[in-house]
């Protein structure tokens, strides 16, 4: 929950309640992956938050596991954990004037990769791509693209060449894979 807001001449600082469960990135790295039922519940909260943001003409531009906080430190399950989406929200027109790659490159949409964003513009679909990349990590324990360097990673993201490799995806449903394909 929001506790206090501070401003300086160029920035806004938001103080929020500490979420005892940490973030999804740390929890996924600790566990390896999360059960599909639990991921559905958590992502439902994230999608609700994004719907709220998008309906007000904003986009998040940094949807990634490090910005999704868990209310509880209990094991991830569909019954007990609720997710809270943190991070920066920007007006659609502001995004083109910010850093070249907002957020962790593994979760950045093709529209936001490098200078590519200046030529095509962006909208809520950029956040949805990031939701898909986040789901990919949560369900498999690995990022959608395993590349040796940023240039190769950027090219794979621009090509949107997402693959569901064994053994990481053997336990996940076709529906989960189809959802990730649809939002990407």
Q: How many CA atoms lie within 13 A of 138 on its CB side?
A: 29
Residue ranges covered by each domain of the chain: 20-183
Q: Which CATH number fits domain 20-183: 1.10.1240.10, 1.10.510.10, 3.30.70.100, 1.20.1260.10?
A: 1.10.510.10
Cβ atoms of 130 and 103 within 8 Å: the answer is yes
Q: What is the pTM of this model?
A: 0.77
pLDDT in tens, 155-171: 888 888 888 988 889 98
Rounded CA gap, 156 and 130, in Å?
Answer: 14
pLDDT in tens, 71-114: 766 655 443 344 555 555 554 544 444 455 466 888 888 877 76
Q: How many CA atoms lie within 13 A of 132 on its CB side?
A: 26
């Amino acid at each position: 929950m929001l506790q206090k807001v501070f401003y300086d001449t160029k920035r806004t600082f938001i103080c929020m309640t500490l979420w005892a469960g940490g973030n999804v990135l740390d929890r996924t790295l600790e566990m390896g992956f999360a059960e599909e039922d639990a991921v559905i519940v958590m992502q439902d909260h994230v999608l609700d938050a994004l719907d709220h943001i998008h309906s007000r003409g904003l986009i998040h531009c940094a949807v990634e596991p490090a910005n999704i906080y868990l209310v509880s430190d209990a094991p991830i399950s569909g019954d007990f954990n609720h997710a809270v989406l943190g991070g920066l929200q920007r007006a659609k027109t502001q995004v083109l004037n910010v850093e070249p790659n907002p957020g962790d490159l593994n979760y950045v949409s093709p529209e936001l990769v490098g200078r590519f964003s200046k030529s095509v513009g962006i909208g809520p679909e950029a956040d949805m791509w990031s939701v898909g990349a986040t789901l990919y990590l949560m369900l498999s324990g690995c990022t959608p693209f395993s590349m040796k360097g940023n240039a190769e990673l950027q090219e794979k993201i621009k090509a949107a060449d997402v693959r569901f490799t064994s053994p990481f995806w053997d336990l996940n449903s076709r529906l989960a894979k189809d959802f990730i394909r649809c939002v990407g």
